[in-house]
Chain A
């Protein structure tokens, strides 16, 4: 069966420090991968998505970046964190199978606090 792993679960980082959040998927090939951010009490904002290795689409310009070095690995990075980067980060995957039910499956999330 397919599983998605996201770590770490919580992270406290100082302003200006770098960030690396990793997400891996097991049990499927060539998934679409997504990074979302959820500010406290808010909805999910799509940050990046990827339809294949090395293919990254950015939805919102910011100081974050994403990379997909392997088929089932998706990394969210920042060179210098801002206070506004605090939030709950969710990785998700899905596959495209025509018009059939193709929901997104989410990781457990990373709660990032920038201090």
Chain B
């Protein structure tokens, strides 16, 4: 069974731009969560989608948004990028919300 895939793996943007990251969960998984990891910090929860609905949301500004499609694939969008948005963005999927999550390799975003 294929794992969680994330595209692109690396991205360089400049301040003020916007970016869209993509995540394909494991087949059959309906829950997709997004996390941000910055140096020296643990994973900070961004949001969770389940069956195309945002079920949970972390404490991030409205510049961070996401969506989930009917095939469970998910996208995350960050508008008006700031230097502090430079981070590793991790996507995780699970069958539902009651089990462990399976993580993708992440997208390394650098904002210049």
A binds B: no
